[in-house]
Amino acid sequence: MALIFELDPAVDRALRDGVLALWTDVSNAGGAVGFVPPVTAEDIRPELVKHLAAMAEGRTRLLVGYDEEGAVAAVAFLTLNAHRLMRHWLWLYTVMVHPRHQGKGYGRDLMAAAADGARSVEGIESIRLTCRGGTGADAFYAACGYKEVGRVPDAIRVAPGDDRDDITMLLPLDRH
């Protein structure tokens, strides 16, 4: 069964709590979404608040995938550039699929929905994202059409003695 995607849903308590629970579960399962396990919802809440504030300011758009039970199962944030010379591309942040749904193709569905969402923004020609090396995320994004365009060795310190590359990837958008 496929996820049902919604771009820019009304953010109410249920959605906020669903995104927070998803982010916590993904982080605790080892997902590279800004945290290292173990984390609690309270550890993640300040980052979610920053994303929600950017949404309220019109700088960020939320893409949510709901499972067959109506629960938040996948999320990505599309963030516009404020710099006048870089307004033709946007960032894709905090790409997550709940661990119980991984392996079902929902990640590819989320990435396709994110590309469609980016295409709906006037003037956007490409998507950039970063990912943590050593997780396999770069191979996943490459399978979704992204190309590696930059790498900073050892830029992400997961733990003492465990540094990972910060990989930048790009997806040019066709307008067909």
d(CA 37, CA 149): 29
Mean pLDDT across 138-166? 98
For the chain, the average pLDDT equals 97
Output the pLDDT for position 174. 84
Mean pLDDT across 157-171? 97
Tens-place pLDDT, residues 127-149: 999 999 999 999 999 999 999 99
Output the pLDDT for position 29. 98
User: What does the buried/exposed string (b/e) look like for 50-88 if buried means 16 or more CB atoms within 10 Å of the residue's CB?
Assistant: ebbebbeeeebbbbbbbbeeeebbbbbbbbbeeeeeeee
Q: Between 176 and 116, where is the model more confident?
A: 116
- Give me the CATH code for the 4-172 domain, please: 3.40.630.30
User: Which of 106, 122, 104, 137 minimizes the C-alpha distance to 33?
Assistant: 137
pLDDT at 175 over 70: no
Output the pLDDT for position 1. 77
**Pair type for strands 126-132 and 89-97:** parallel
Tens-place pLDDT, residues 53-71: 999 999 999 999 999 999 9
Q: Between 175 and 174, where is the model more confident?
A: 174
Per-residue pLDDT band for 176 (boundaries 50, 70, 90) equals: low
Domain positions in the chain are 4-172
Q: How many CA atoms lie within 13 A of 66 on its CB side?
A: 12
Mean pLDDT across 2-21? 97
